[in-house]
Amino acid sequence: MKVIPTALPGVLEIEPIVHHDARGFFLETYRADRYRQAGIDVTFVQSNHSRSAKGTLRGLHWQDPPHAQAKLIRVVVGEVFDVAVDVRPASPTFGRWVGVTVSAANFRQLFIPTGFAHGFCVLSDVAELEYQCSDVYDATSERGVRWNDPDLAIEWPVASPIISERDRNHPAFGELKRQPSRD
């Protein structure tokens, strides 16, 4: 596999080796020893699967300690624009974001370490994501920040996304800047 660093340290794009032949394809979507060698030394304990229609935007979400989650995202159907935002107040890249197109066709994955918000928007008619998490979902640790916050200035490739009421009502990034760090 090829590991491609992004503009945010720790957020990695992963390009697996895909074996194609007349029958179709085969790839390893995760192998602990190889990921460890690539610097991803995380034990995944929960697996999630989501399906969303074109134009849907989910995020931006993360969990604070003690249930902070690293995530390994892959798309099994369709295509998404996947975003990670550094929400660690003490980080030199606090408030910076990176976006990557992940699709069933390109087989790429995105590794998002703890301390980063995650969100995505669907570019294809439908998209299905599978992602591994390093801790279980815990509602009391869940946090969010507004997807269209002008301080973040994320360049989402959808003009009028389909978005949940919960995601629409997340606090502004400026409110996050005023909160003490939980790291």
- Residue 182: inside a domain, yes or no? no
Q: Contact 43/132 with Cβ under 8 angstroms?
A: no
Q: What is the pLDDT of residue 99?
A: 97
Region 129-133: mean pLDDT is 97
- Distance, in Å, from the CA atom of 56 to the CA atom of 80, rounded to the nearest integer, reads 10
pLDDT in tens, 38-84: 999 999 999 999 999 999 999 999 999 999 999 999 999 999 999 99
Residue 99 lies in a domain: yes
Question: What's the token pair of residue 140?
Answer: 């009391």
Q: Residue range 119-135: average pLDDT? A: 97
What is the enclosing helix (H) or strand (E) of 13? strand 12-15
Residue written as tokens 């390009």?
A: 15
Q: Judge whether 90 lies within some domain.
A: yes
Tell whether 17 is covered by a domain. Answer: yes
Domain with 171, as residue range(s), is: 2-177
| Residues 92-112: tens digit of each pLDDT | 999 999 999 999 999 999 999
What pLDDT sits at residue 176? 74
List the catalytic residues: 61, 131
Give the C-alpha separation, 92 to 7, whole Å: 12
CATH of the domain at 11: 2.60.120.10
Residue 183 lies in a domain: no
| Cα 32 to Cα 74: distance, rounded to the nearest angstrom | 16
Instruction: Evaluate whether 115 touches 8 at the Cβ level (below 8 Å).
Output: no
Find, among 165, 73, 51, the residue nearest to 119 by Cα.
73
Whether residue 60 is preceded by a cis peptide bond, meaning omega within 30 degrees of 0, is: yes
Model pTM score: 0.93
Gap between the Cα atoms of 99 and 112, Å rounded: 11
Is residue 158 included in any domain, yes or no?
yes
What does the pLDDT read at residue 183?
Answer: 47
pLDDT class of 12 with cuts at 50, 70, 90: very high
Question: By the 8 A CB rule, do 78 and 104 touch?
Answer: yes
Give the chain's domain count.
1
- Residue 36, SS3 per DSSP: helix
What confidence score (pLDDT) does residue 175 get? 84
Q: Tokens 């640790």 correspond to what residue?
A: 141
What is the pLDDT at residue 159? Answer: 86
Assess whether pLDDT exceeds 70 at residue 163.
yes
| 117 inside domain | yes
Q: What is the pLDDT of residue 177?
A: 64
User: Is residue 141 one of the residues assigned to a domain?
Assistant: yes
